[in-house]
Chain A
Amino acid sequence: MNPLNPVIQLEQISYRYVVEKSPVLDELDFVLHRNDQIGLVAPNGSGKTTLFFIIMGLIRPDQGRIKIFDCPVSTEKDFIKVRKKIGLLFQDADDQLFSPTVLEDVAFGPLNLGKSKEEALEISRETLEMLNLKGFEERVTHKLSGGEKKLVSLATLLAMKPEVLLLDEPSAGLDEKTKDHLINILKELSLTHLIISHDTGFLNALTNQIYHIEGGKIVN
């Protein structure tokens, strides 16, 4: 852990879905440093996904400050920059893959980053090859199996060359073989990552610290 290099800093974050009810996140403090690999375990409905959405700026917290790469972020414009550096893997791969073919889906991110078509295609092919997905280029996304969808989703993120990965239950619904493959890929990448999972074996393989969310706060 390198205390001098914080990547994501959350201070006093609170968020509630329904005004009358108690908040899901209650004055939560959290810091993710460069090269940290943290697992997040918490019961359903305890605000894990909400936390990821707040980091990505998909929802705004009721209160609190967010600093990413040591820069305070609060407006949509700030978050647009954040999203180029942080990749979020959704729980349901069908939400993530929306283009008709795999290659188009993987190229979507690089194109949004302003890459030319040729560059985007090259990056996409490289990324697919890296994940052992060569030959998947022209496959139709909705016809992939669950495991394939998960890997292609990961490829769509990696094509954007993120510095940090946020993974929301990446191992859910995968068989052992695919899970091992995913573990190997993530180990090899050894990016800074934060993983939400209920799968202890998966977390042990990929993280060096495990945190919990209790009463809207993150505890070690």
Chain B
Amino acid sequence: MWFQHKSRIKRRIRSVFTIQRIFRCCLKDMIPDSSIENRSSFDKLDPRVKIVSAVCLSIGIALMNTIESLITSLVISVLVLVMARFNIRLVFKRLKVLFRFLIMLWIILPLAIQGVTYGKGFILDFNAEGLLLALKITLKSVSILFVFIALVGSVKPAIFGHALLKLKISPKLIFLFLITYRYIFVFEREYKKLKRAAKIRGFVPRTNLHTYRTYAYLFAMLFVRAFNRGEKVHQAMICRGFEGNFYSLHDFDIKRPDVIFAVEFVVMLLFIVFVEYSTL
């Protein structure tokens, strides 16, 4: 009986950590899917203003150090999220990824940081400084994530790319971003195709050399295909008169609501800084 149970656990662990799963998580959670309706009240704002505001506020929050100012940040970021009227289910889906990482910190930090001993662990001492640090990190990361989801999460990848272009970010990087967005799904499909091909010939992943070798082949094949496709896409671009210049079809202009929005953000940032210094 027990070995059946053991093999089930082993299977479970394996399935959790299969590359495919990680791959899927990254794809589904990180890339904003434009098919999901994200009706946000910020939709009409200039994406450049939203990006710059989100970056400034995030840097501000990241630099704060007192619990009071961090709680203020969290409250403000929740407010921003509510103002954005963002799909709550989607927010939690994205939070899940962050929480996986944070749980690790909550376990490790209280044991790893030196300070006043709070409780005796089995081998290591458990202390309050570590807990406090974990709490701060949690507050900071959740606030920053909320701000980004509310402001940048609602911008479609294509528009996001063009907004960055207008913000004078290197066109090469933006092109890389847009092409990645275009082809990452093609690679997922190719990966699935290869995996299916292995499966129909009786391949079952196990903890052995054959499995590792098969995965290595699979990835090698994926790289070869990626290279070939890159070459072909380049040829297709050349055929359509590409000579190294990118043209953007999007025009943005800053209107009154954008200015009001930016001022609001500056006020929020100043408020957080004020709380930080008044509680020091």
Contacts and interface: CB of A to CB of B under 8 A. Distances in A.
Contacts of A101: 158
Contacts of A53: 235
B237 interface: yes
A211 interface: no
A92 B232 contact: yes
A80 interface: yes
A28 interface: no
Contact of A100 (B181, B240, B245): B181
Contact of B233 (A87, A98, A117, A156): A98
B35 A140 contact: yes
Contact of B249 (A58, A103, A140): A103
A21 interface: no
A62 to B, nearest CB: 19
Interface in B238-276: 238-243, 245, 247, 249, 251
B182 A99 contact: yes
A109 B178 contact: no
Which of the listed residues A94, A99, A103 has the most CB atoms from chain B within 10 Å of its own CB? A94
Contact of A142 (B182, B247, B251): B182
B185 interface: yes
A117 B235 CA distance: 24
Interface string A112-125: 11000100110000
Contact of A84 (B157, B235, B241): B241
Interface in A33-91: 53, 56, 58, 80, 83-84, 87-88, 90
A85 to B, nearest CB: 10
Contacts of B22: none
